[in-house]
Structure 1
Amino acid sequence: MVVAIQADDVIARCLIYPQLFAGNIQASGKLWEFGQRAQDGASHLSAVLKRLAPANDDIHQFGCNLALQQNLALSERLGLENPPAEKKRYYCGFKEARVDTLRLSSSDYKIILTNQPEHGEDAHVDVALFIDKDVPKNRFANRRTAAGIALAEGFSDVEPHMCKVDEGDSNHPFERIGVDCVNSELPGPWQGKTVHLSDDATIETSNLTEGFSNVFETTNLPVPQLGSDQ
């Protein structure tokens, strides 16, 4: 069943780790990170139409199935029974937004939402980003990024979830880092920065850097001695 998406509809974006994460932390800049253009001239991502999946559990089931499909495809591509731990995909919850609150167009881009059933999921939504094909490649990349960030601004906080199949998996980001990994906005302003910790940094301070190896570099500085001119 295909339906026309209305202004008062709500769409959800499933958070798949590590695709939508930066340094093990879910970042708004990764929520709608559009890729290269397809043959139709648009960059495509996916969402879920809540009218056809009204309960949170419906969205969670959609996300768990999505992660499962991606892991199966990854295993097949790599010729392995199971994907390696560092590449395994995990569904971690979703963010949602009402359609009429989203910035779907500007002078630089247009985003079209279409209910397009896929893999047996009637609630699947194709999110297509169109940018003028005559825009130079460097400006196209900038506009694509700006459109994704503008779209992400309309989305709610995360409704976290661990799939039943992932329970007990010590590699799951909830187990390694904590459930708060889906709510932090740390990667935005701190991306590419260096944090310096002194050798006598407390354990509590050191633990702040756990799981952030891809977000910022950490280095230890020697503790200045009394009487030194350092």
Structure 2
Amino acid sequence: MNKNIFNILILICTTVFCTAQTATDFTSDDCNGTSYNLYSELDAGYVVVLCWVMPCGPCALGAEYAQNAVQSFNISHPGKVKYYIVDDYANSDCNYLNSWNTSYQLSPDATFSSPLIDMNDYGGSGMPKVVVIGPNKQVYYNGKNNQIDELSIINGINQSLQISTDVQNISNTKESSVYYDNQNKLIQLSENNFNSYKIFSISGELVAKSTVLKDKINVQFLIDGLYIIQFISQEKTYSYRFLKNN
């Protein structure tokens, strides 16, 4: 495939057809007067978990699920997952919100009462409503009411963490150390310095993983679409984006 055509297809697939829902940016002060910009947090590599609450007793359970899910990554990914509690319709004052957090032993990274953070951007209201947003600005979990469960939030966070913001478009020239042979559906390695690899769909789903035993990885089994392959060495993880198509 011509390199320019390949890059155009990558751009189209990334921006239009192959992505999950894109998060809506906001800039708002929290209840302590600190200004937050969502996209700046994501660009810095954080995963952001938003939890809208009424606040009320029934909302506390979903907020606790979200907090437990976030805290489960404290050891493996310290400081990488941010937890924000947001008043659902921005009609509760901050003193009440902070008191409610304390009553239910909730300790979010920030609490907001702001109409600028709108849960309707994510498919309607919920009491509570939880959304997980990855560093690539895509939504990996969206739950509300009694549909919220801790394991699903954890899975959404895990998928978000797998998608690196430092992703290169894979080359299609043999002179490169890693290149994609679209005709034979092979990813070729000129030097095998990697221990293992993982392949993710653009939505963050893990679709394949294995040790690197050869200088070729067959991706014929993948359905057509945009993927990210991560090569893991002892020192670093390298991520490449490639488009598999017939």
User: Normalising TM by the smaller chain, what interval?
Assistant: under 0.3
TM-score normalised by the chain length of structure 2? 0.24
TM-score normalised by the chain length of structure 1? 0.25
